[in-house]
Structure 1
Amino acid sequence: MTATAGHPADDGSGEDGPGEDGSPAAERLHPVLLHHIVNTLGWRQLRELQEAALVPLLAGDDAVLLAATASGKTEAAVFPMLSRMADEQWTGLSVLYVCPLKALLNNLEPRLTTYSSWLGRRVAVWHGDVAASARQAILRDRPDLLLTTPESIEAMLVSVNVDHARLFADLRAVVVDEVHAFAGDDRGWHLLAVLERLSHAIGRPVQRIGLSATVGNPPELLGWLQGAGSGRRPGRVVAPHLDSASPHSAVTASAKPVATVPTGQIELDYVGSLQNAATVIAALHRGEKRLVFCESRQEVEQLGQLLRMKGVTTFLSHASLALDERRRSEQAFSEARDCVIVSTSTLELGVDVGDLDRVIQLGAPRSVASFLQRLGRTGRRAGTTRNCLFLAPDRPSLLRAAGLLLLWGRGWVEPVVAPPEPRHIVAQQILALCLQERQVGGQVWHDWWNGLEPFTRTADVIMRYLVEQGYLQRDGDMLFIGPEAELRFGHRHFMAMTAVFTAPPEFTVLAGRTELGWIDPSLLTEQVHGPRRLLLAGRSWQVTYIDWKRRRCFVEPVDSGGKARWTGSGVAGLSFELGRAMREVVLGADPPVALTRRATDQLAELRELHLPAVHPGGTVITRLASGDVHWWTWAGFRTNATLTSTLAGLTDPVQEHNDLYLRLRRDLTPAQWRGGVVDAVDRLCLPEVDEKALTGLKFNTALPQRLALATLATRLADLPAALDVLREPSRFVIS
């Protein structure tokens, strides 16, 4: 039977599929590797994805491997690489395995070490938590496969202590795990740019392999991963469950399903509050291991404390907990049985916490893709079924969950789209290159990215600005790091240059010498009556001393009364597709899942409440008794932000962007509205951006302000969806 390391076998019954020459594809693997797969792992055959990936990967093609969670994607990529390593006698560091999370790297290391040892090869891990002594050992004696992050690759390239030319001289391939997690944000641009610099440094392209479970546009994701080599290097989408296994497939995020809807026991319940959610979780599925996902760190802390108060063995995981605290929780959870672990998305991306019985979702995740990842955490044991219980603590989250499950039921998954116009990443990369090479020719700097847009001569305006502002200095035709870059990014040997995301300032919380995690500074500055208490790691702590200079806070345990808060916590704005799915729910569509009586009753009340705001033939404008005028677009955050700017003469200038509606002028007439919309169709505008928002765009100071603001405005806009909404009929309703 087919099995994946660490997971029970499927009920597969077919024989190995043939390769292109008619022979079983598995026989193409190196005989020693094949021997251990059969005799050490006890596999009778490879899984479908592993079989399908062998021929293209052994041929050196770029590829994106798509399959559901726990389908053996890691082995599908690593076995061919190990086989090539032995057959072609690769030496030195030949394969990089890149992950978005350090915890995922740590989790993979033992398994990949075992596989590599069969062929006498070595694996090592390099990320921000790896000790300096371990890094020095890697530099002295290079492993064959290195597990790392994009930020650590950047750190190796710019470090004066790393001979990157020697370290990467023998690099042949890069495996990018959870590739969709990179492609959808600026870390993806950073990864692509770093890979192009690596290729330029060693004088040849490297094979690129991406692993993903849930995307709506596989061919586009492959083209993105190939970077400058897209269209010039052979590439393949390997996805046995889709029609996209052909390299010429045209699978897109259209109205038709783009993924097979996984079977599973999905239930939607309405509980009305966080306290009620804790009561339900404590009462249900006793004796089983339950993983509860929340949409903010604050919810994780609050729910964790409530569950512990009810006597439930509870562990927590989120990004503001110290590494040792997270590891203790995850290890204890993997070894226990009757318990709950409450987490943000940190446990969404494949980190192994043992065999789960149940997944519970508080509220609704941000996307269908995210839900599929979470659903895939269950049903891994033979005889078990994938399952997820949604607990809606309020009506808005119930409607969001119903809309998301409606999309899921149709097999729809979001396309992964790189953020447009990453000018700040271009600035970072120019500075990083000057650190890496110490000095770079002013006419040839762009060659390092091999023609990858936007890292080309089109970015000359950014390079000139860096020189004008002192970030770079020029000596003849050579560019090198200037005093302004030293001032802004030079702390700790330019460590701030290696990551393209910003983190809000936080205080480290310590109980004695034990580091618990990090909190928002506002918890230490807000006015309180009585002792100042914090909620962290699911427990309450009383502040005993604050070291303002070192940003440290010392605490001691107390029974209750702690508060949790982090800047930026909560659900992000809705997408256009999710907003429209929620409108369909209000119009009467039910998601294809089990609904509890409470959920059914609440949805009925929501439909009655929103009935004046929906119409199947277009949008609705309501004039309330208060005089407020709302345009119900059900179009999501970015679309509504675009419409607010485009219809500036018709919208209320004093309003916050909303997912479902816009506030219009109170004196607006139907005739004014019709005329304004007709005019707006031909002049869509980007949303207005407050200068204060630039603080969230790292390296914005290395750009002319107009370019930094233009970058944010472009990313906030959804022009196609805004145009669709403007072209829809709209009707006035008096409520």
Structure 2
Amino acid sequence: MSDVDRLDPVVVHHIVNTLGWPGLRPLQEEAIAPILAGEDAVLLAPTAGGKTEAACFPVLSAMSQQEWTGISVLYLCPLKALLNNLVTRVDGYAQWLGRRAELWHGDVTDSRRNRIRRDPPDILLTTPESLEAMLIGTKTDHNALLGGVRAVVIDEVHAFAGDDRGWHLLAVLERLQRVTGKPIQRIGLSATVGNPAELLTWLQGSGAGVRAGRVIAPGVGMVTPGVDGARPDTGTQSDGGGVNSRDSAGGSPADVWTEGSELAVARESSTAPPPGDIELDYVGSLENAAKVISALHRGEKRLVFCDSRRQVEELGAALRTRGVTVFLSHASLSVDERTRAEQAFAEARDCVIVSTSTLELGIDVGDLDRVIQIDSPTTVASFLQRLGRTGRRADSVRNCLFLATTDDALVQAAGMLVLWGRGWVEPIVPPPEPRHLVAQQLLAVTLQRHSLGDRIWADEWNGLSPFDISAAPILAHLVDTGHLDSDTGLLHIGPTAEKRYGKRHFLELTAAFTAPPQFTVLAGRQEVGHADPSVLTDDRPGPRLLLLAGRSWRVTYIDWTRRRAFVEPADSGGVAKWSNIGLRGLSFELSRAIRDVLVGVDPPVSLTKRAIGQLADIRATKDVAFSGATILEREGDSVRWWTWAGFRANATLSASLSAVVDPTQRPSDFSIRMRPDLTRSMWRDAVTPLRSADASLTYPHADERAARGLKFSDVLPESLAAATVSARLADVEGARKVLSEKTIFRAS
């Protein structure tokens, strides 16, 4: 019997006759047997690789063959928009077997939720936050509604695992397993990651090492850069002999240069690379990027990625002034505004949509012709997601054009593409020491249970660390501060938690991340999006103008109490600005790849003449990079240590070498400012003890503002909140690699 024959005959019939498929993809076929056997699994494939079907077809077959009833399958996604995009497709597959799928998240109306409570579907598409709200809410009998769950599909599982939402997801799944009274099969869907086996172990939670599980990734490691973005790691570095090296004549369908103050676009058919190549260009400014985008690829549907909301707004406005049909998508636009833009873009042809990472995941925006990246993402994984948005037609291949607006962006893009060319993808690593989420879970499970035994509370997570007995000090603090009450061996929600989280039925307690406070922007009754408070309080002459949804708005009234700003259209101008409270900085690997670029390594992609020339100029002026060694450079009264190790490793080195580091200067991704009176003997005395194998390095210091960036940090002792942030600022492994290298002393 083939694996396909194991599927329910009705599913096979519809695959052939309704979908018109001649067969299944390798991933879809290989997933059948383990999923039908109840094994946990991580399914890996590029964007549009058929992962949803690889999970749904065997799960639906198991549902039919084993006669599951009620809500037996949960389909979890990190974004509501992704759920909205998937529900019709998943429901269509379910209807083949007389089953159905429904949607449940924060935008679903109460009346629709009540219908689900009365008549549960077979598959429920939701978010982890909404799932927890069901567990702790008083309107939902979670035992009746969720007690029959047999399998959980987690889409874009890598987006969870590398973030605090991943810890939250694992904890909620363990609590759900207590409700069902039996293990729940866990199926993760992911794009390419650097450590798939570890991702599977993470996903299994308390079942790791107990339940059967496997990674299913046919063909991964066998595709080449420029197609699916992954290839076997040969262990060698690129020497510039890729598709187009520095010494070649350059060449792209659009080499760009400056003529006076205008940017011109020329066709050079004799040097044009094959369609679908990855191209790296240097344009020098966001305005020039708008000129290139408006002139190139007319008649095509283009998706442009930026890595800040401000860039999205400014580029969108610049394109609109050049007559380009443009749509915008980012997290501070209203849901209606984003939905309208995405739908209009999906139906249009000659147009551009400019987006942050909101469109990086698998939301369908129609048949794309081209992806354009302004500057560079900070990870190879992010680039692979974006690259995978193209090449979905049979007559097309995946493509991406990089437009670097600064020197730093050019070398970062080149460094990231060097890593990609080596077949390297970031490992997914959960944030360490999530004590704040342990506190949140202790409160949430007490709400769910109404009372909790003060000796058996750790059983609620089935022994999963860090939600196990090791959390006792956090529990004690919650009791001491009145967040929990302890009475005759039982724990209850205390008055402090009631006061802090009790509004809206403890809804705020279900969100595992902190968003900066923003003002809602309204044009009449229509919500446009959200603005940072600083834009409304900055002291600027003249009328207050905002740039939002790619359009200019004049602020007419601010309701400070309700955090609302009322606006009307303006002819031009406006400020786009948002705060960012996240921990930032480049990784050790990317910083080292940037060093490789500066010493002469080219990425295996097409470089335009302008990019080649600009890289040559940068390399001629940046003489602080050296392969295999760090450089300690004295320039006048300043001493700088060029480590090329990334912010976290440099922060760890700064904390560990505090006696010789300038305490007034923050480390960068590439260097550390040292004491101006540093001598070789002082350096040797400080570094030598740290080079031994058993030496302990010091975590970076975390200030109060950084600790406040953790959701629920205010229910932890200050020392524990600071310790969590310090652990997340550290890269001990990267710091040890730097310490193991030789150091070149140089005076300029």
TM-score class, shorter = over 0.9
Deviation at 1:657, TM superposition (A): 2.7
The runs of 5 or more residues in structure 1 that have no matched partner are: 1-22, 245-250
Q: Output the CA distance in 1 between the equivalents of 2:581 and 2:232.
A: 29
Deviation at 1:253, TM superposition (A): 11
Q: 2:722 aligns with which of 709, 723, 727?
A: 709
Q: Is the 8 A contact 2:231 2:423 kept in 1?
A: no
Q: 2:622 aligns with which of 600, 610, 620?
A: 610
Q: Is the 8 A contact 1:183 1:189 kept in 2?
A: yes
Paired AA for residue 165 in structure 1: N
The runs of 5 or more residues in structure 2 that have no matched partner are: 223-229, 237-242, 244-274
Deviation at 1:64, TM superposition (A): 0.2
TM-score (norm 1): 0.94
RMSD: 1.7
Instruction: Name the counterpart of 1:510.
Output: 522
Does residue 362 (structure 1) correspond to residue 338 (structure 2)? The answer is no
Deviation at 1:542, TM superposition (A): 0.1
Q: 2:333 aligns with which of 309, 321, 330?
A: 321
Q: Output the CA distance in 1 between the equivalents of 2:740 and 2:129.
A: 44
Q: Output the CA distance in 2 between the equivalents of 1:313 and 1:500.
A: 37
Instruction: Name the counterpart of 1:18.
Output: none
Paired AA for residue 680 in structure 1: L
Deviation at 1:571, TM superposition (A): 10
Deviation at 1:51, TM superposition (A): 0.5
Paired AA for residue 433 in structure 1: V
Does residue 662 (structure 1) correspond to residue 672 (structure 2)? The answer is yes
Paired AA for residue 675 in structure 2: R
Q: 1:501 aligns with which of 508, 513, 532?
A: 513
Does residue 674 (structure 1) correspond to residue 684 (structure 2)? The answer is yes
Q: 2:81 aligns with which of 83, 100, 103?
A: 103
Paired AA for residue 575 in structure 1: S
Instruction: Specify the SS of the correspondent of 1:295.
Output: coil
Q: Output the CA distance in 2 between the equivalents of 1:233 and 1:570.
A: 35
Paired AA for residue 157 in structure 2: V
Instruction: Specify the SS of the correspondent of 2:622.
Output: helix
Deviation at 1:24, TM superposition (A): 2.0
Paired AA for residue 510 in structure 1: L
Paired AA for residue 597 in structure 1: K
Instruction: Name the counterpart of 2:256.
Output: none
Instruction: Name the counterpart of 1:231.
Output: 209
The percentage of aligned residue pairs carrying the same residue is 62
1:357-414 deviations in whole A, cap 9, x for unaligned? 0000001002000000000000000010100000000000001000000000011000
Which aligned runs of 4 or more in structure 1 are off by greater than 4 angstroms?
A: 251-257
Q: Is the 8 A contact 1:296 1:571 kept in 2?
A: no
1:46-90 deviations in whole A, cap 9, x for unaligned? 011000100100110000000111110000001111101111111
Instruction: Name the counterpart of 1:16.
Output: none
Q: Is the 8 A contact 1:216 1:252 kept in 2?
A: no
Instruction: Name the counterpart of 1:425.
Output: 437
Question: Counterparts of 1:531-610 in structure 2 under 5 Å?
Answer: 531-568=543-580, 572-610=584-622
Q: Output the CA distance in 2 between the equivalents of 1:692 and 1:44.
A: 57
Q: Output the CA distance in 2 between the equivalents of 1:536 and 1:570.
A: 22
Q: Is the 8 A contact 2:648 2:730 kept in 1?
A: yes
Q: 2:711 aligns with which of 660, 685, 698?
A: 698
Q: Structure 1 residues 510 and 243, CA, compared in 2 at 3 Å: closer, same or farther?
A: closer
Q: Is the 8 A contact 1:294 1:342 kept in 2?
A: yes
Instruction: Specify the SS of the correspondent of 1:341.
Output: strand
Q: Output the CA distance in 1 between the equivalents of 2:83 and 2:681.
A: 60
Q: Output the CA distance in 1 between the equivalents of 2:747 and 2:285.
A: 33
Q: Is the 8 A contact 1:512 1:555 kept in 2?
A: yes
Q: Output the CA distance in 2 between the equivalents of 1:575 and 1:293.
A: 21
Does residue 383 (structure 1) correspond to residue 361 (structure 2)? The answer is no
Q: Output the CA distance in 1 between the equivalents of 2:406 and 2:699.
A: 33
Q: Structure 1 residues 498 and 408, CA, compared in 2 at 3 Å: closer, same or farther?
A: same
Does residue 39 (structure 1) correspond to residue 17 (structure 2)? The answer is yes
Paired AA for residue 538 in structure 1: G
1:292-337 deviations in whole A, cap 9, x for unaligned? 0000001000000000000000000000000000000000000000
Q: Output the CA distance in 1 between the equivalents of 2:153 and 2:630.
A: 46
Instruction: Name the counterpart of 1:719.
Output: 732
Q: Output the CA distance in 1 between the equivalents of 2:207 and 2:523.
A: 51
Between 1:637-646 and 1:676-685, the stretch displaced more is 676-685
Instruction: Name the counterpart of 1:331.
Output: 343
Instruction: Name the counterpart of 2:181.
Output: 203
Q: Output the CA distance in 1 between the equivalents of 2:281 and 2:297.
A: 15
Paired AA for residue 481 in structure 1: I
1:181-214 deviations in whole A, cap 9, x for unaligned? 0000100000000000000121111000000012
Q: Is the 8 A contact 2:667 2:673 kept in 1?
A: no
Q: Output the CA distance in 2 between the equivalents of 1:373 and 1:74.
A: 16
Instruction: Specify the SS of the correspondent of 1:290.
Output: strand
Paired AA for residue 698 in structure 2: C
Q: Output the CA distance in 1 between the equivalents of 2:42 and 2:235.
A: 21
Paired AA for residue 420 in structure 2: W
Instruction: Specify the SS of the correspondent of 1:510.
Output: strand
Deviation at 1:255, TM superposition (A): 7.8
Q: Output the CA distance in 2 between the equivalents of 1:201 and 1:704.
A: 31
Question: Counterparts of 1:322-471 in structure 2 under 5 Å?
Answer: 322-471=334-483
Q: Output the CA distance in 1 between the equivalents of 2:382 and 2:661.
A: 34
Deviation at 1:572, TM superposition (A): 3.4
Between 1:317-326 and 1:672-681, the stretch displaced more is 672-681
Deviation at 1:683, TM superposition (A): 3.2
Instruction: Name the counterpart of 2:635.
Output: 624
Q: Structure 1 residues 288 and 516, CA, compared in 2 at 3 Å: closer, same or farther?
A: same
Q: Is the 8 A contact 2:329 2:359 kept in 1?
A: yes
Instruction: Name the counterpart of 2:41.
Output: 63
Q: Is the 8 A contact 1:366 1:571 kept in 2?
A: no
Paired AA for residue 114 in structure 2: Q
Deviation at 1:243, TM superposition (A): 7.1
Q: Is the 8 A contact 1:105 1:147 kept in 2?
A: yes
